[in-house]
Structure 1
Amino acid sequence: MSGWRRPDEVAVVVRRPGAGGVRYLVLLRAPHKQGYWHLVAGGVEWGEEPAAAAARELAEETGLEVPVRPLALALTYVLAEDPEPVRARFAPGTERVTLHGFLAEAPAAWEPSLDAEHVEARWLPADEAEALLAYPEPRLMLRTAAEAA
């Protein structure tokens, strides 16, 4: 469509069973990607449905190819609060971005194959994973998924 990014993003809460209970995946973004802890996430391309974007991002960032289920949650955040490199991807005048939440179930022994955007992955209990996440919207999505488990 245009060179500007669509004002829709996805976040995927990935969980797996374990001997100590359910664990949630958090990823550390590489320094060239602002170096913060996040869920599997990314932009929705023009003409793409959010669920398709969630499945695509999950496969690209971790190598996991499983169905994604929508969380009963979509959040809107104010773009002006993001760093300039993030804001610059959206058309001038874009004020808000909608973040669509999804859930994916990973097999118990599965480990992610990280892409170049990430340098570390951790499987953590919900409260520890939530505490690491840099932004409030992914924290709320993780909490929502954990409470529904």
Structure 2
Amino acid sequence: MGPMLLTVVHLVLVAAYAGFQWTVRVLVYPQFAGVGPGFAAYERAHQRRVTRVVGPLFVGQGVTTLWLLVLVLRGEAPAGPVVVGAACLAVVLGVTALGAVPLHRVLDAGWDAAAHRRLLRVDSVRVAAASAGVLAAAWLVLG
């Protein structure tokens, strides 16, 4: 895959993830509060289903980001947008692992309004980082 095609594939993956993350933040997570009885089962089903979507997007972004970082080291890609994009992905992955996943574990036990509020705040960070990642990927393609 040539560098231009790689940058376009990267942009598509980053934009798909950002769209996914915006949907989760604006639509999916706010609906948690209205589930009522049976929330724990709902939460576990949510986790199983969402992993099927987000897992491939994380893997795809990870592969293209690493590939782009190699190209930067070889002098074949501009460092600025690649490093900014890699930092955005690192924030998303770190906030997911250290914030969202533990909060989902709390919600596994049943509805917890405080955990839900924290999840919304954590997810807002992911939305911001994912959106910035799209800008970095677009900068890379258009730069």
Larger helix percent: 2
Fold match (TM-score > 0.5): no
Bigger Cα Rg? 2
TM band (smaller chain): under 0.3
Bigger share in strand: 1
| TM-score normalized by the length of structure 2 | 0.27
Structure number with the bigger relative contact order (C-alpha 8 A, sep ≥ 6) is: 2
